[in-house]
């Protein structure tokens, strides 16, 4: 089976950069995946794409050296199995708030006897190779999103779930669940909670990923010990690049209108 380079980078202690796709376009996916990210994730939770477009985006990522991953909409076992069948090499699952959800998530990602994934590998086989079925349990990544106060209250049990490869922190939902604003993740109670999650996950040798609002924050997170960082999403990067192009082109007195809000 084609190796999972994200897993291999994790095992060899190399940092992992992850692109994040919300724009429903296989062309945009191909452009982003060609820029040097180690992984690229199609975001079905907050992205604007449906299943068919997500599959075309996975195909586009697959012709680059980036590892194709998906964030599913929720802990929805049939959807997760179908996304793996579509060729996702890693699933990031939102709101894994309890050990029961963590178990159900791993079950959806793994073939029996380890889990309950149904057989029908479809594109997974085309991308992974003829021995996909024999090795899929070892190569595909199950990353549980820790993004609520409830998940923190059950953190140790969630992280002890057998078969879980790692975690991915959603700092904005985590902040909201603690009564704070999105974007407040670098300090205070949210900052402390993120440090606690990182410590608990690293103690168990789990892959630790996190969404970051900027490249500077992504760099900081790598320095703190995160293995995988997402330095913003496609819409955000596209918007800010356009803004800088305009600012580089025009002097302040020539600027006729201010930028509207940048996509998130």
**Residues with catalytic roles:** 46
211 binds, among ligand 3PY, Mg ion, none (CB under 5 to 8 A by kind): ligand 3PY
Residue 30 binding target from Mg ion, ligand 3PY, none, CB below 5 to 8 Å by type = none
Half-sphere exposure of 118 (CA within 13 A, CB side): 9
- Report the residue number, 147 or 165, with the smaller CB distance to ligand 3PY: 147
Q: Which residue minimizes CB distance to Mg ion?
A: 170
Minimum distance from CB of 245 to Mg ion (Å)?
30
Minimum CB–partner distance for residue 45 and Mg ion (Å): 7
Decide whether 161 or 233 has the Cβ nearer to ligand 3PY.
233
Q: Which of 170, 171, 232, 239 binds Mg ion (CB under 5 A)?
A: 170
Contact flags string 132-161 toward Mg ion, x per CB under 5 A = ---------------x--------------
| Residue 183, Ramachandran bin (φ over 0: left; ψ between -120 and 50: alpha; else beta) | left
CB of 140 to Mg ion, least distance (A): 22
| Residues lying near Mg ion in the complex (CB under 5 A) | 147, 170, 173
């Amino acid at each position: 089976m084609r190796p999972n380079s994200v897993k291999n980078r994790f095992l060899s202690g190399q940092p992992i950069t992850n692109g994040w796709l919300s724009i429903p376009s296989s062309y945009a996916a191909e452009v982003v995946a060609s820029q040097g990210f180690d992984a690229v994730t199609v975001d079905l939770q907050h992205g604007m794409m449906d299943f068919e477009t997500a599959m075309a985006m996975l195909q586009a990522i697959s012709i680059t050296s980036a590892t194709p991953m998906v964030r599913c909409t929720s802990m929805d076992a049939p959807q997760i199995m179908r996304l793996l069948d579509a060729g996702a090499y890693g699933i990031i699952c939102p709101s894994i708030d309890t050990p029961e959800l963590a178990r159900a998530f791993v079950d959806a990602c793994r073939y029996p006897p380890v889990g309950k994934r149904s057989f029908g590998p479809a594109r997974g086989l085309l991308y992974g190779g003829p021995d996909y079925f024999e090795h899929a349990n070892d190569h595909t990544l199950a990353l549980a999103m820790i993004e609520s106060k409830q998940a923190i209250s059950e953190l140790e049990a969630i992280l002890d779930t057998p078969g879980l490869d790692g975690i991915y922190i959603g700092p904005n939902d985590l902040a909201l669940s603690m009564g704070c604003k999105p974007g407040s993740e670098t300090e205070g109670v949210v900052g402390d909670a993120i440090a606690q999650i990182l410590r608990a996950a690293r103690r168990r040798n789990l892959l630790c990923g996190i969404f970051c609002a900027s490249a500077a924050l992504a760099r900081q997170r790598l320095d703190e010990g995160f293995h995988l960082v997402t330095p913003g999403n496609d819409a955000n990067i596209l918007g800010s690049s356009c803004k800088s192009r305009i600012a580089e082109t025009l002097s302040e007195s020539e600027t006729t209108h201010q930028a509207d809000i940048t996509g998130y």
